[in-house]
Structures are given as structure tokens and as C-alpha cells.
Amino acid sequence: MRKTSNIKPIISLATVFTLAVAVGIWVGRSSVSEKEEASVEHPTIALIQSKLGELLVHIKQGYVDETDLQALSEKIIGKMLAELDPYTTYISAKELATQNTELQSELEGIGVDFVMLQGTAYIVAPISGGPSEAAGIHAGDRIIKLDDEVVAGQGFKSIDLIKRLRGPKGTKVKLTIERRGQADLLNVVVKRDAVPFYSVNASYMLDEVTGYIKISRFTTNTFKEFKTAFSSLQKQGMSKLILDLRNNPGGHVEKATAVANRMLDKGQMIVQTKGQTSKHNIKEYAKGEDGFDNHPVIVLINEGSASGAEIIAGALQDNDRALVVGRRSFGKGLVQAPIQLQDGSQLRLTVARYYTPSGRLIQRSHRENASDYQADLIERYQQGEYFRSENIQFDDASKFQTSRGRIVYGGGGITPDYLVPPDDTTNTRYLKAIMPVLRQYASEYAEQHREKLTAMDYEDYRKHFKVTDVMLSQLYVHTEAAGIPSEEKVLRTAKPRLQLYLKAHIANHIWHESGFYPIYQQEDDIVQKALQLFDEAEALIKAPAIEAE
């Protein structure tokens, strides 16, 4: 199993927005018919084409400076599409090649998880079974040079290094690294290869009957991973399921609907789309292929759950198949069709909207432009809806009923049946600030004590391993060195959670995600709330459905 590459107890609003825009856009539809329609003669289109062509000719022939017409035209296209909605976008051929890798089940690169601290990349862990592990890269290594170019302390961002570390399978990259305990720098050549990219981060039994599955996004292999995890948990006695879709920004929608299908009765609607043309008016129904239909399910969502994650939550909620717990989801319910253009670029055109089975619109108002989306998330926080469900503002037109008559609301994401507010204390803000340092210290500790830790049984570690005051003192030295000041009162009150998080991250390096989550979730308020609600979730699926009028 892959080592966790992005475990973050708190995700920023800006990151939520970026992920939802970048990932929650794929529908996997054919774009042939859209191409054909674009070729139909239309007087207005012909007039605009003529005018733009005339303008470009004048610019080319008469403008005072040399002009890159290709770059200019792409700017024109971008500004034009921005007037439609935040998700209709134009992507150049070069950008398209990069973005497509995000939804593939494998990436080609060196396979490391790293954090940037004071301008230097620290290796948190080489991905298990990946090229870096094979080349001898260790947790705690610092990348000083990349292909003989100094990158430490030069202002590089994480994304800059990611782009340079990725590359075609078989190509090589030379890393000059600094390793703790060694005076001289080490040169390591890593041969790039396919790196497994898992979307089911963890699956394990929370207790004797309750299974837990976390899906981080929907990629080409998500449903296959989900089926494997689901089957394994059933063999371990699972009769209740927590499906964690928090901070899942979407991805391949057909993989999300396949997951929903596994938990619905035959004939129950999963999702519907409505567009300008009849071919985009689609209703998708469950095939009833699994025997888990009568067992209680609870779905976890938050403000980072978008697109495919919202489709699953909405489908299970509207069909009274599951309780939804957490916070209101992102509200991304526009359908994009990828339309390939002749030069290899692509238009991702919004062609429809997603609606839940009861008829709720998932999409929230996008108002003027994409920046308003991020502003809307901040407004939600400011008006207090993350802390009290009655602060969520709906109008009567957005009121709908589930199959058993419960009231639900649409037009702005999926609202949970039970709200669990975020922990916004000073302690939590401090923990968020030091998390990169904590992860780096945990990786160093795990490597230094790997022999002792690997000799332990996981259950023995989970029950008996203690994070000592000496370990915390060493962590505080790291945080001070990283420029994060420590306040005695905060350190004292945050100590129990610091110990828990550090223990969880050390476990992650030895036992991977299934070692991390059982420890970390002891302080996960949403998971703990869900565990209290299974009686209600079971009663819900046994209640009679109301008669359709």
C-alpha cells in the first residue's frame, strides 16, 4: 500500500476551492456530437468569426510591436469563457497533458512524499514500492540539488519541484541530498517509473461490526479499489459502514455513481442531469448488484466534498439509504463535456447541471466569476453555518423531500443530517501551523527507530506506545528552528492532541494509512459522532417510503 501523501487534519478554504475546480470536472462523455454541432452554420457565429479574423489581420499588419497572435487569441478565449461560469475552460495542448495525469491511477516520477520547510524539500517518506525507495532515499533526507542545480533555499515552491521530479518512465533524475548523521552530501540517481496512486486511502474495521472506507478522489481505479476494500471488510464481519468523502473534490463521475450503485436497491435513482438539449437530460438508476442494501451506512462530508462526492451523498440521503454527517459540501454540480479541438487543445464546456434524485440542484450560485466561489466559502464561515445548522440560508423554493418524507434542501451543496462544527480553537490553529514540521519529525523518528517499531505488533503499538516529553521537546526544537514560536499555555493545552498526532504519523511510516487512521480518528469529532448514530441510520432504512403523488 502507498504511504499517505497528503494527510491534513484541516484543509484551507483556498485549497478546497483549487481542488474542486481542478479535479471535479470530468464526466467521461464523448464529444463527437458537440464537434458536429459546432460546424453548423449560424449567422451570428459567422459574423463574429469574420470580425475577430479582421481584427487579428489588422493587429498583425499594423500594430507597432511584434505580436504573438497565438498567445493573444488564447487570452481572448479565456476571457470569453470566464463570462459563462467558473468551470467552462479552455486548456492548451501542453496544459492538457499535465492535467490528465491527476486523474490517472498511476503517475510517472520518483515516488516521494515531501514537505517544504524554510525553502528546502524534506523527504517525509519514499512511496512504498516506488523508484525512490529502490534507489535508497530515506525519510528525513533534504534535497539540496536537483540535476546539479541548487534548489534548497532558492525560493522554489512544492509545485515547482513536483513538476521537475515527475517525468517519463525510464528517464533519470540526479538528487544531491543531505542525510542526518553523514557529513558529506550524497548523490543518488533515481530512475523514474510508474508510481501507484491510490484513491481509497484507508479501509479497516473500527470495531467488530463497523467498517470504514475513505475515498480521497475518483480516479480510473477507484471503483476497483472500493470493491476490494468493501469485500475485505465484509469478510471481517462488517454490517455497518462509514464512508468518508471529506475533502474529496470529485473526479471521474462514473466511478462515483458506481460506488453509489453498490449501496442502493435496483431502480433507485442515483443522479439526474438537465441541460439545454435532450441528450444531456439523463437519469441514472441503480442496478441493485450488491447484498449490502439492508445494512446501515453513514456518509461523512465537509466543505471540501465536491462533484462526485456530492452525487453519492445526495443519492444516499434522498433515497434514505444513509445518514449524512459533517458539514455542508462544496456545491459543484455542473457537467462538463471535454471537446477536443483541432490543435490538440480542449474546451471543457458546461452542458448540464447535476440534480439529486429528489430534484435538488447540487450547484450553488456562481454569481460573477470563479473568485466568488472562494468568497462564498469564507462567507459561510463568517455567517456561522459551520457551527450552527440554522445559520445556513435557504429559501422555500429549495425545499425537497426524501423517499421517506424527510425535508432536504438544494441549490448549494449537500447539507448533512447532523452538523459537526470544526474545532477552531487556538490549539487547532497551532497544530495546523506546525503540521509540516510534525510530519518531518515523525518521519525522522520512525527511521531512527524502524527496527524497534517493525518488531512490534501494530495492536501493541496502538495500545501501549507513548509519545514522551523528551520526544515533544525534540519536536519543539524543530518548530522553533522553522520559525514557529511556541507559547507555553498553548503547548500545555495542546499536548494530548500533539501526542496523538505524532503517534499517528509515526505509525503511518511503519503501517501506512491503516496504521495512521485508527489512531488519528480517536480525536476525529465527525467519526466519533457517526459512531453514535447507527441506530438511527438502521431505523431510517427500515421506515416505509411515502407514496408518490
Residues belonging to the active site: 307, 318, 332
DSSP code of 218?
A: B
Say which residue the cell 447539507 belongs to: 415
List the beta bridge partners of residue 284.
Answer: 271
What is the spatial distance between Cα 226 and Cα 258, in angstroms, rounded to a whole number? 10
Taking the C-alpha atoms of residue 32 and residue 340, their distance in angstroms, rounded to an integer, is 9
User: Distances from the Cα of 198 to the Cαs of 192, 304, 326, in angstroms?
Assistant: 18, 19, 24
DSSP character string of 141-168:
-EEEEETTEE-TTTT--HHHHHHHH---
Residue 389 is classified by DSSP as G
Q: Which is it for strands 89-91 and 210-215: parallel, antiparallel or unpaired?
A: unpaired
Distances, alpha carbon 129 to alpha carbons 126, 137, 160, 450, in Å: 8, 12, 24, 17
Amino acid at position 365, single letter: S
Beta strand 297-301 with 240-244 is parallel
Q: How far apart are CA 258 and CA 323, in angstroms?
A: 19
State the DSSP code for 64. S
341: Cα separation from own chain's centroid:
29
How far is 306 from 18, CA to CA, in rounded Å? 11
Region for residue 482 given its phi and psi (left: phi exceeds 0; alpha: psi -120 to 50; beta: otherwise): alpha
Residues 437-449: b if buried by 16+ CB within 10 A, e if exposed: bbbbbbbbbbbee
**What is the C-alpha separation between 386 and 322, in angstroms, rounded?**
21
The residue assigned the cell 502507498 is 2
Nearest to 499 by CA among 528, 469, 527: 469
Positive or negative: CA dihedral 235, 240, 246, 249:
positive
C-alpha cell at 61: 499588419
Q: Which residue pairs, CB below 8 angstroms and at least 24 apart, start in 117-121? A: 117/436, 117/437, 117/440, 117/482, 118/153, 118/482, 118/483, 119/152, 119/153, 119/154, 119/155, 119/156, 120/144, 120/152, 120/153, 121/151, 121/152, 121/156, 121/158, 121/161
Output helix, strand, coil percentages for the chain, rounded to the nearest 5.
40, 20, 40
Q: How many residues does the chain have?
A: 549
